[in-house]
Structure 1
Amino acid sequence: MKLILKLLAGMALGLLLGLFAPPPLAALLATFKSLFGQFIGFMIPLIIVFYIMSGIASLERGSGRMLGLTVGLAYASTILSGVLAFSAASTVLPQWLSGAASAAPQAAEAMAQPLFKLEIKPLFDVMTALTLAFVFGLGIAATGAERLREVAEQGKGIVEKVLARVLVPLLPAYIACVFAEMAAAGAALATLKTFGAVLLLAIALHGLWLAVLYGFSGALLGRNPLSLLRAMLPAYFTALGTMSSAATIPVALRSAGNMRVARPVANFVMPLCATIHLCGSTITLVSCATAVMLMTDGLAVPGWEVMLPFILLLGVTMVAAPGAPGGGVMSALGILSSVLGFPEASLALMIALYLAQDSFGTACNVAGDGVIALWVERLGGLEAAGEPAVQNG
């Protein structure tokens, strides 16, 4: 929650600076934005390589049948939630945001130019990073190459430190610079209107998707959906406060036990789903991406022939996303740029929109994990043990 408050403060400060900053300060803001934006672009392929490679390599743990069921169900839930989000966002947002087109492409002209420019090129492009991560991740899982596994884990650790110590702490300042540009271009009010519309839509879609998951599962499994959802509420509210699925694992395990999920199933499924089941984050990202395309000159909302591959890739690129708040959007920046054609200004808006509602997406992810555990138990032929996944207290 502290990050959200800092983000909001950055937006407010950026609006004021865009209206009243003297030329020397405006030039400093432009310089910081240019350098930080390029550094984000440099980090995107590294995030993809090390997190996806590490995530895939770790999927050899546990029984093959249980692993296959968990991964398959989690990915299906993630993709279907993205389909729901785009169906709703592409229908509702054009009406809500009519007349709210952004002047983002003109913002750079309205803002002062950087004092100097440095070109920081990524080591490779996004698709190369994805391919590299898949080849080595699957290879490590198949061959048990321990040294490469250590390289993947250590690289992931370094990237995670950069995210936690550099990127995430400086994001409010970066967003302040972006909003200063928009204020200078006269697009601030339209952007704030978009924030409110997308926040309401995303939260409504999170609730709808959880209602679908629990209603459908309760009907087919012969369980009371409201009782099941009530059992997961402690995990939901914990995730709402921490903005981290990983930090919520202990509470999620207790909630799964309260749903009468067998302890071995819960102990396997809940930690794994914390990194691979991203239904709420996908809803947020797809909704935000649709809004940004609607409000940005030069971007158009594509059809399903583009959005479906984007959603399919999104479910993969966010695998093992960093436990730090905002990890989902940072790992998705690459395909937002390569598949949807987002320029730097649009990527910055995506970061701001996503982080403003990240806690709700994370809470939806965690609440949905309980449904995955129920189905893995049923489809895996395991009987509920009727005991908690972990001992309370």
Structure 2
Amino acid sequence: MKRLFSNLLFKVFLGIVLGIVFGLVLPESISRIFATFNAFFGQFLNFSIPLIIMGLIMPAISDLGRGAGKLLLLTAAIAYGSTLFSGFMTYFAAAGIFPTLLESHVADAASITETGKELMPYFSITIPPALDVMTALVFAFVIGLGLSYQEKSTLGAVVKDFQVIIMQLIVKVIVPLLPLYILGIFAGMAFNGKVYSVLSVFVTIIGVIFVLHILLLAIQYVIAGLLTKKNPIRLLVTMLPAYFTALGTQSSAATIPVTLEQTLKNGVSEKIAGFVIPLCATIHLSGSIMKITACAMALMILQGIPFTFTLFAGFIFMLGIAMVAAPGVPGGAIMAAIGILHSMLGFNEEMQGLMIALYIAMDSFGTACNVTGDGAIALVVNKLTKKVGN
């Protein structure tokens, strides 16, 4: 029971259920307490986002610049390419499916917006961020790239210390409060009548993404099978222990030993597997980008916000880099993405909260997709390095 209550997914689910119940049965005077908390936490989250971007992306980029030379570049290029492929595949699939699939929900949302009443906080506090999101991103890239060329640097040590502080902020403050924040969001939606439409969308999105992530894994292993001249089904079946381990742990890092063992069984050399699997646990996020892209598009359609391929192309390219920052933190990829969702897609606090809830609800499947795809990348890198060696 203790382990269950410490699980972030369970706490988010509990927050959704309690939020709906509270919004339906509690008097407005009590429900406004949750709205007041959300108003403060939303401001604090907006303040924290630039700090999170700098604290996580700077050391991530500086670390990628060190060490294994050509092997690092090859692995990073393939991992980033796989992440981008997943993002664009999801965009085209969602753009073709979601407008029709969510059409009735859009009409419901429009009618609710016109007639619904909002749950207002008792008071609100404005906490302006020290930097805007794009400034923080550019600053993080510049410092990270500069540090990647430094063997020993005092600034590098400062950046590492800053990373530790930001990780503590996420793990000790933001993540524990997220279920309460989501409770407040769903209490507000239950109060104004939006909750049925949103929950219906949740089920629809989760179903579509599950099918897409199975399709993505099939494509990854067909490519790996063609290059290595091995049966892709057999390769994928060998990786299933890593897939199911990731479903349970919700962590790419915690699954590394199993992923490594199964990758070796697929015939990858110890040297390549020992390098590629830990690295891809950090930089290969095809399952994560799939969830964020699909959820973002669904919420934009639901809110009647127009989108274009050009808008999402820039978003996907930026997201593929930003998510590298925090794959080891529960829900870390969505925390790294929140700033980009706000600055590039115009997401407000409620939409950001819904994104967090949706992402965490599918966190296990995204992580499983990430780590299973790592095995395919290891097969490809192993084959390509053999060709170079020959």
Q: Give the shorter-chain TM-score range.
A: over 0.9
Aligned counterpart, 2:178: 171
1:94-113 equivalent positions in 2, closer than 5 A: 94-101=99-106, 102=109, 106=113, 110-113=117-120
- Among 145, 155, 160, the alignment partner of 1:148 is 155
- Among 282, 290, 294, the alignment partner of 2:297 is 290
Residue identity opposite 1:44 in structure 2: I
The answer to whether residue 83 in structure 2 is matched with residue 62 in structure 1 is: no
The answer to whether residue 235 in structure 2 is matched with residue 228 in structure 1 is: yes
SS at 2:325 equivalent: coil
Residue identity opposite 1:42 in structure 2: F
| Cα distance change of structure 1 residues 199 and 146 upon mapping to structure 2, 3 Å threshold | same
- Among 262, 267, 276, the alignment partner of 2:283 is 276
Residue identity opposite 1:136 in structure 2: I
Aligned counterpart, 1:17: 22
- Among 205, 220, 230, the alignment partner of 1:213 is 220
Residue identity opposite 1:321 in structure 2: A
SS at 1:156 equivalent: helix
| Cα distance change of structure 1 residues 60 and 382 upon mapping to structure 2, 3 Å threshold | farther
| Cα distance change of structure 1 residues 103 and 118 upon mapping to structure 2, 3 Å threshold | farther
The answer to whether residue 230 in structure 2 is matched with residue 201 in structure 1 is: no
Aligned counterpart, 1:48: 53
Task: Kindly state the Cα deviation for residue 230 of structure 1 after the two structures are TM-superposed.
Answer: 1.6
- Whether the aligned pair in 1 keeps the contact of 2:65 and 2:145 (CA below 8 Å) is no
Aligned counterpart, 1:266: 273
- Among 94, 107, 127, the alignment partner of 2:134 is 127
Residue identity opposite 1:170 in structure 2: L
Residue identity opposite 1:244 in structure 2: S
- Whether the aligned pair in 2 keeps the contact of 1:104 and 1:187 (CA below 8 Å) is no
| Cα distance change of structure 1 residues 103 and 327 upon mapping to structure 2, 3 Å threshold | farther
- Whether the aligned pair in 1 keeps the contact of 2:20 and 2:187 (CA below 8 Å) is yes
Write out the 4+ residue segments of structure 1 that deviate beyond 4 Å after TM superposition.
103-109
SS at 2:105 equivalent: coil
SS at 2:123 equivalent: coil
Tell me, in whole angstroms, the C-alpha distance in 2 between the residues paired with 1:278 and 1:259.
21
Q: CA offsets, 1:19-75, max 9 Å, x none?
A: 222233122111100011111111111111121111111113332110010110000
The gaps in structure 2 that reach 5 residues or longer are: none
Residue identity opposite 1:275 in structure 2: T
Q: What is the RMSD of the two structures over their aligned residues, measured on CA atoms?
A: 1.9
**Paired positions, count:** 382
The answer to whether residue 380 in structure 2 is matched with residue 368 in structure 1 is: no
Bigger shift: residues 92-101 or 67-76: 92-101
The answer to whether residue 79 in structure 2 is matched with residue 81 in structure 1 is: no
Structure 2-normalised TM-score? 0.94
- Among 313, 319, 332, the alignment partner of 1:314 is 319
SS at 2:148 equivalent: helix
The gaps in structure 1 that reach 5 residues or longer are: 385-393
- Whether the aligned pair in 1 keeps the contact of 2:224 and 2:377 (CA below 8 Å) is no
Q: CA offsets, 1:103-157, max 9 Å, x none?
A: 6994997233222211111111111111111111111111224322222222111
Q: CA offsets, 1:68-108, max 9 Å, x none?
A: 10110000000010000011111111222112123699499
Identity of aligned residues (%): 45
| Cα distance change of structure 1 residues 17 and 271 upon mapping to structure 2, 3 Å threshold | same
- Whether the aligned pair in 1 keeps the contact of 2:227 and 2:383 (CA below 8 Å) is no
Task: Kindly state the Cα deviation for residue 168 of structure 1 after the two structures are TM-superposed.
Answer: 1.2
The answer to whether residue 9 in structure 2 is matched with residue 4 in structure 1 is: yes
Q: CA offsets, 1:183-226, max 9 Å, x none?
A: 11111111011100110111111100000010122023201111
- Whether the aligned pair in 2 keeps the contact of 1:107 and 1:181 (CA below 8 Å) is no
